[in-house]
Chains A and B, each alone.
Chain A
């Protein structure tokens, strides 16, 4: 039994295995399959100031070893979250963190401010990288200047752990990472989905109602791993890695590339118990390698 605990800023995680926003509902959807309290943490569904209906169906297209989604941040708004969902999930014994999205700086700030009041939510993940909403979202994550502005503004109103989720749909992700680090982000998480597209050749029209969508799943892992490695070398704050992680081996790769913690997304759909297997697998790997703490593994490649 190696020591699996890691820290992001002042926040302690019992292990580095977290679940990715938008793929894990509010956690409770998985409670029939796993003991949620064994997780290092849960990022709940992207939450916005006002309720959003999301995009029209079809919102999903399967690809080789992956999928495209265009959910479009369907959620009932932060007030609904606070009064109806938070009471149901606040006593799960793990770090429950909220993924915050918006289309204006003002939206992000008000939403973050309201979540700041919730005792059992120790961190937010600022989503400046959603490719599926027309207004904003990714617009903030694709320019260093805009990313810095929104992070600076949220930092003024939010005093707990602030994680900023980066978009891979940029020329140089390290530039954005450095910009948000400079404005006081406690950590960066990456990657969000890669912009993609699928066409139904029989009907001769795009599969997704929004034409383009976000690619996730096993197929994006090499790209994600490369970006995590680059970013971990470019910033001093911790990096949370994700993108296609489907096994403990994948998770160890990300940690070796420099990730302090990892998030599992799409793989939960195929195996709702995958997160437990990843925790156990990392533990056994460390024992086998005689490494007493996962912290010693972070970024330790030659």
Chain B
């Protein structure tokens, strides 16, 4: 496993849209080897200048460009901590601990038997799915993304997803893609998938898991339990599992097979 490390990253670019923003961070310190990162892993961001934000904030790795020594984060402003992070400007430093957590499971390199992967994201839950899709593409599979949002404006930027795979959208108000929730999208009935990955609000993941269970499709989900340390030291982030009792989402997750979790059964 790659060594976890703590380092300052420099903001190369910050792109804002509504209450979300994308950070392109570069690891400038040449003495620090660029980490090997797996899809589904996350970083712990140190928040400065906020009395009410004491702990780091866990954020998924949205995309990685090792040649440029860049990690990208896609963040939704939900409170004081993320609001402070959103204030960073190009050239500022952000202190990260990374890479943390396990990974979505990647299949073996494409052995010519076609396989279909569906990556379902709700809101900013789409964040880790871009890098996952990219890694699937690299081993020879073209993934399908199914992204849901309340309205058209709530999608951050769909172009990167379109570059990596096929993109399907749903919106609750019908302003883009098909109207309704992700689990109402027609592609779920017209296409047969071999594997589903999902990340987003719990009710959405629960609905996706039910669909996967009904269709007998293996399914992995990524949880967002609140965390203190992010490295398995405090036991604050636990989730109940079927065989192992309480486990830490930060080390044994954030990605779980739906069959491992008690809440889906």
Contacts and interface: CB of A to CB of B under 8 A. Distances in A.
B116 interface: no
A45 B236 CA distance: 13
Interface stretch (A171-179, A222-230, A264-272): A264-272
Nearest to B4: A32
B3 interface: yes
A80 interface: no
A95 interface: no
A71 B236 contact: yes
Q: Is the interface of B mostly helix, strand, loop or mixed?
A: loop
Interface stretch (A55-63, A234-242, A253-261, A286-294): A55-63
Nearest to A60: B236
Given A57-B237, A269-B229, 7 more contacts: A23-B229, A29-B233, A53-B246, A60-B236, A67-B228, A268-B233, A272-B97
Interface centre among B4, B51, B54, B240 (most CB of A within 10 A): B54
18 contacts: A23-B233, A25-B232, A30-B233, A32-B5, A33-B6, A58-B226, A59-B238, A60-B237, A62-B54, A62-B55, A63-B54, A65-B54, A67-B54, A67-B228, A69-B228, A71-B235, A268-B233, A272-B97
B239 interface: yes
A273 interface: yes
Interface string A51-82: 00110011110111111010100100000000
Contacts of B227: 60
A64 B238 contact: no
B235 A270 contact: no
Contact of B231 (A29, A65, A74): A29
Which bucket holds chain B's interface residue count?
Answer: 20 to 34
A273 B54 CA distance: 16
Contact of A32 (B3, B54, B235): B3
A65 B51 contact: yes
B42 to A, nearest CB: 15
B228 A269 contact: yes
Q: Which 10 A-B pairs have the closest CB atoms?
A: A60-B236, A25-B233, A269-B229, A32-B4, A29-B233, A32-B3, A269-B228, A71-B235, A59-B236, A29-B232
A269 to B, nearest CB: 4
A217 interface: yes
B206 interface: no
Interface of B: 3-6, 46, 51-56, 97, 225-240, 245-246
B239 A57 contact: yes
Given A57-B239, A59-B236, A269 B51 contact: no
Nearest to A219: B54
A273 B5 CA distance: 10
Given A60-B226, A269-B228, A273-B6, A24 B54 contact: no
Contact of B52 (A25, A32, A64, A74): A64
A71 B231 contact: no
A214 B232 CA distance: 19
A14 B157 CA distance: 55
A66 B52 CA distance: 9
A91 B5 CA distance: 23
A57 B238 contact: yes
Contacts of A29: 229, 231-233
A24 B235 CA distance: 10
A54 B6 contact: no
Contacts of A58: 226
B54 A270 contact: yes
A62 B53 contact: yes
A157 to B, nearest CB: 28
Nearest to A75: B235
Contacts of A60: 226-228, 234, 236-237
A30 B234 CA distance: 12
Contacts of A217: 54
Interface in A18-53: 22-25, 29-30, 32-33, 45, 53
A128 interface: no
A69 B226 CA distance: 12
A60 B248 CA distance: 13
A32 B52 CA distance: 29
A218 interface: yes
Given A33-B6, A53-B246, A64 B51 contact: yes
Contacts of B238: 54, 57, 59, 74
A173 B237 CA distance: 32
